[in-house]
Amino acid sequence: NRSTWLLPFRNWALKEEKDSRGVRIQAAPTPSIISNNAARHVDLLKAAGLVIMSNVGIFAEALQVFLTSGTDTVTGELDGTSEVFPPGLVIFSGAIEVFLVLVSGFVGISALFFDFHMPKLTMAATVLSLLGGWYVFVINVLAVPTFNYENNIAPPLAPLGGWDTRFREDIAFYMGYLVSSMAICAVSLGFHFATLLNLYRVQVGSYDKGAQVPKRVRMGYYSFLVTVLGCGMLSVGGWLRTQEGPGKQQRPVIYPPSIIVYPDVQVMTGLWVLLYGLAGFSQAFSPMETTYSFIKTYAVLLWAWIVGFNVMCNISLATTLPGPGAGLSGPGIQIACLFTSVCFSVAIYAGDVDTAMKISSGAHKRSTTFEMGAKKSVTEGTAGVAAV
């Protein structure tokens, strides 16, 4: 017999009855059993869909890192030099991401489209996401940017005339590049890990929809990361606008995840991302139905803004400018995919918080109704005894 998590609509928990001869009779499934299996199937589909969505966030990142690793070296050596970060470490980082995308993509697609579930494989992908994600984070987000900054290697790429002061140069690097990269990487890789773990819990039946505290803490954590990302993008865009003005730059200014041609577009993008993170905080610590509806709408509009204005305007125009512009098509797709996780992770977790609140509210109402009914019965019984 196949387990119930594999075929939720076909394997019903059947009542057992016996006829006059003592032979067991299988009765039709009750409505409550059908409802529970249907709800479980919906949870499995949603969890698998989230895994695929989180895969989109790191798919382009994985290919970009893997395919462009080591292209700056002439000799092809993997150990690097005092002016070239060891390409072997970056290539291995890209390979880990590609393998992670393939494994988790198989898990999500097989679960969503073929109703095929292997909890052990899902757990293996979850562990790989955790361990591999940390390696990718340390190499791509901490080691490479710091090495480039200390050796004056692009990226980052400052304005054409450089920054006017050392303070602006430092704040642009630390807030616009290092901190922003840490935040967006933590969101995309963390969201990927969380969706795999969520799918595993649904598969084994340990997922609790009504647990408010962990869902609110998780939403607060991701909202914090999005707020930090918005601050970083806003800072580098603001200082660039202060120094160079609001007009079109002579060459793209690159502080990943920001590629800037028009500072005003960068400032507005950073502001929208910052406000989105603050709205997530509001929903995490003081959840309301109106706030949840606002966050859902905001997520869609923010994604449209980033793809339509930031990527299509800033990065598409950057490909036509002198310098490294011709090679920015790949990073443009990479940034659009990474911001998929940024835009929708907070809204998805807001939905989890809203669902947990409704479950808790329903349980509280049922408990209150039961208590009122019990008190009424006791009162009526007491009155009856007194009358007798």
The predicted pLDDT at position 9 comes to 39
Task: At 262, list the tokens.
Answer: 């028009």
Residue 1 is predicted with a pLDDT of 45
pLDDT at site 383 = 54
pLDDT at residue 382 in the model: 58
Q: How many beta carbons lie within 10 A of that of residue 272, not counting itself?
A: 21
Between CA 300 and CA 318 the distance in angstroms is 25
Q: What is the pTM of this model?
A: 0.80
Query: What distances in angstroms separate CA 153 from CA 41, 165, 239, 314, one per listed residue?
Result: 51, 19, 21, 22
Which class for 156: exposed (0-12), middle (13-18), buried (19 or more C-beta within 10 A)? buried
The answer to whether the beta carbons of residues 232 and 377 sit under 8 Å apart is: no
* Six token digits for residue 88: 């072997």
pLDDT of residue 299: 92
Q: Which two tokens stand for residue 325?
A: 């512009």
Count of other CB atoms within 10 angstroms of residue 367:
10
Q: Contact, 344 vs 67, CB < 8 A? A: no
Backbone φ/ψ region at 187: left (φ over 0), alpha (ψ -120 to 50), beta: alpha
Helix (H, G, I), strand (E, B), or coil: what is residue 17? strand
Residues whose CB falls within 8 Å of the CB of residue 264, separated by 6 or more in sequence, listed in order: 237, 241, 246
Per-residue pLDDT tens digits for 12-45: 333 444 445 555 555 544 444 444 577 778 888 8
Per-residue pLDDT at 71: 53
Q: Write the CA distances from 118 to 115, 131, 221, integer angstroms.
A: 10, 20, 29
**Residue numbers of the chain with a pLDDT score lower than 70:** 1-36, 69-82, 154, 289, 322-330, 362-388
Query: Which sign does the torsion angle of CA 177, 179, 184, 185 carry?
Result: positive
Q: In this structure, are residues 145 and 178 in contact, taking their beta carbons and an 8 Å threshold? A: yes
Q: What are residue 25's phi and psi, to 5 degrees?
A: -115, 130
Rg of the chain (C-alpha set)? 27
List all residues 6 or more positions away from 314 whose beta carbon is below 8 Å from its beta carbon. 252, 259, 260, 261, 262, 265, 266
